Structure 1
Amino acid sequence: MEDSIREALDARSVVRKHNGLYVVDRKKVFIKTNSSEHARLLCDGEARSLEAIHDTNTVKCPKVIKVFESSKGTWNLICDYIDMEDESAAHKEKLGEEMAKLHSINPSLLKREQEKASGDFIGEEKREGERRFGFVVPTSCGVIPQNNEWCDDWRTFFIRCRLKDRVDGIIQKYGDHELSSQWSQLERRADDLLRETDSVVPSLIHGDLWAGNWGVSKENPVVFDPCSSYSDPEFEGGIQNMFGGFGAPYTRGYDRILPPRRGWNDRRFLYLLYHNLNHWLHFGGGGYRATSLSLINSILHPDIDSD
């Protein structure tokens, strides 16, 4: 591996430390290696996601150095190494603020373009906003590719490229008749619940921001392992209450900049469902199947008040 890194980076010295940490010409780098079926897609998708987040100058993330193949079918993503510190409630609140700023960048760019077209914008903005939902390359939330086909509205993108894509994958892989029988109802209900999002413009999201995909460096929150897309920013919240979540400090920081929109309490079950379906597809039935079917039942037969 050291020889492959030396060749890829045109380096003189490569020293392997531990857990993906290498020292290349006296500089620490972190290398993620993947040899799964979709290894190149996974590395390319994560690299493009990190680059997109980095370019917003909002929340900190590792800087991409290179994607390269070290042996046939084995792909690697090289990033700057970031030393991490202990997290606190204050860091979670700051993470919430910075994620809200990340989600605000593309809408701000689109607003400036509109103002510029009308003659109301004073100044110069070289970056252009993205008007569609999707992403420049496929990504993977796990090891199974996500469909990031560009769509003109969030409702179409979420139902076709997120929800149906995972439902179809589960039915094909596991032949689950109960899930199959519920799809037509779920599709209609999702379409109805998402009608209030038709005026939403795309935001760049991390895509897999759970408690294990962030840390702190020099008092600044750091996010990593993204699978980004231009989506409704609410979708980011779908996984944030799984595996421990972030709690009130994150929500407090986020809501200061982007308060929750009307209907969020209903839509959040759809976004939580996607991530449970994704884990069901990856790891099989059991708990994820039970939770997914329970969520579908709650979506089809709501027993909570809409806000």
Structure 2
Amino acid sequence: MSNTVHTLLQRPLPGASAIDGDFPVDDNVVAHLPGGTKVLSAHRYGSSAWTITARITAELVDGTPKKFFLKCATEEAGHAMMEGEFWAMTELYNTIPAAFPKPLARGKFKTENPATYFFLCEFAEMSNQVPDPDRLCARIIELHRKSVSPTGKFGFHVRTCNGRTPQATEWDSSWTSFFAKFMVHVMAEDFKTNGLWPELERTGARIVSHVIPRLVGALETEGRSIKPCLIHGDLWEGNTGTSYETGSIILFDAGSYYAHNEMEIGDWRCPYNKVNSKIYTKTYLRHYGMSEPAEEWDDRNRLYSTYYDIVYSVNHMLQGRSVRQM
């Protein structure tokens, strides 16, 4: 998919409107803009290994200038990515509108070869500086506290993706059970992508059969329970921005599901993130606290971080075999 999607920019697309800029906007995308919108230009914006992205400059029916963000991906894998991102961003936006660009639509290009899918949202003017710890954590804590699972369970109503990798998000009333299936799924994806690694297979089986029931299970025994919180699901500095207008944190490119809130910051332990500085984790814990048993927090955090390490290995195939051995 990563190679196919970039060929879209190498030739004119049937069904693409003739407008200024270097990005061909499919007519089905234009049809999902607010009624009467006049597209003025479209330019490539940002970069991604698995998608192509653009900024659309337009004029609303009342003459108001407006910008939109468009993301596209091809084939069935691209369909899953765009569908998952649309619903994840919709759930996040409905919970905290100020923190997320407003999602508008997802759909399929008019052109059929290759089959191309898109996600469309409002464009947010922001810098890509590393996020301020206090502002980032305030946003995430607000999300975790305000969110309410529509089923009272852990999971999501569609499969979301972390990068290009689909996640096992089927509803489950137990976080212990959900997380075990979550890990089994991502390890299977890794074996499929990078080949069988006997050491990981043995260790993974042991984690699922012994570590998760004991370590994660402790959260749901002896009268303890945890709230299913809506999490961003892929929270590193590349998926954050700082608004030029307000200075507030804006989040995007989500792979959300309802989870134990501590799952969110498991990603911050991974060495390839700039938010792996301890100040981010300490700031979050200072305001949100640790789940009980608190003395096992670091072990849980290490376990949660292994999910992000493995999914990173799946997403980055050329590096996967070396990355997963870290």
Q: Structures share a fold, TM > 0.5? A: yes
Q: Please point out which of 115, 125, 129 is paired with 1:83.
A: 125
DSSP 3-state at the match of 1:290: coil
Provide structure 1 residue ranges, at least 5 long, that are not aligned to the other structure. Answer: 110-127, 292-307
Matches within 5 A, 1:80-229: 80-85=122-127, 87=129, 91-106=132-147, 129-160=150-181, 162-173=182-193, 174-187=195-208, 188-198=210-220, 199-217=225-243, 218-229=246-257
CA distance in structure 1 between the partners assigned to 2:190 and 2:140 by the alignment? 31
Q: Return the alpha-carbon distance in structure 2 between the equivalents of residues 252 and 290 of structure 1.
A: 27
**Secondary structure of the structure 2 residue equivalent to 1:13:** strand
> Aligned residues: percent identity?
25
Q: Give the alignment's TM-score, normalised by structure 1.
A: 0.81
Q: Which runs of 5+ in 2 are unaligned?
A: 1-23, 46-53, 60-64
- Point out which structure has higher relative CO (alpha carbons under 8 A, 6+ apart): 1
2:46 is the alignment partner of 1:24: no
Q: Does 1:278 align with 2:311?
A: yes
Q: Describe the SS at the equivalent of 1:216.
A: strand
* 1:7 corresponds to 2:31: yes
CA contact (8 A) 1:69 1:76 kept: yes
Q: What TM-score results when the alignment is normalised by the length of structure 2?
A: 0.76
1:210-236 deviations in Å (ceiling 9; x for gaps): 111101112110011001000001000
State how far apart, in whole Å, the 1-side matches of 2:236 and 2:172 are. Answer: 26
1:124 paired residue number:
none
Q: Where has structure 1 moved over 4 Å in runs of 4 or more?
A: 86-89
CA contact (8 A) 1:93 1:253 kept: yes
Match of 1:304 in 2: none
Select between 212-221 and 180-189 the one with higher mean Cα deviation. 180-189
- Relative distance call for 1:249 and 1:276 in structure 2 (3 A) is closer
Q: Is the 8 A contact 2:85 2:160 kept in 1?
A: yes
1:300 counterpart residue number = none
SS of the counterpart of 1:212?
A: helix
CA RMSD of aligned residues (A): 2.1
On the 8 A contact 1:59/1:99 being kept in 2, the answer is no
| Counterpart secondary structure, 1:245 | helix
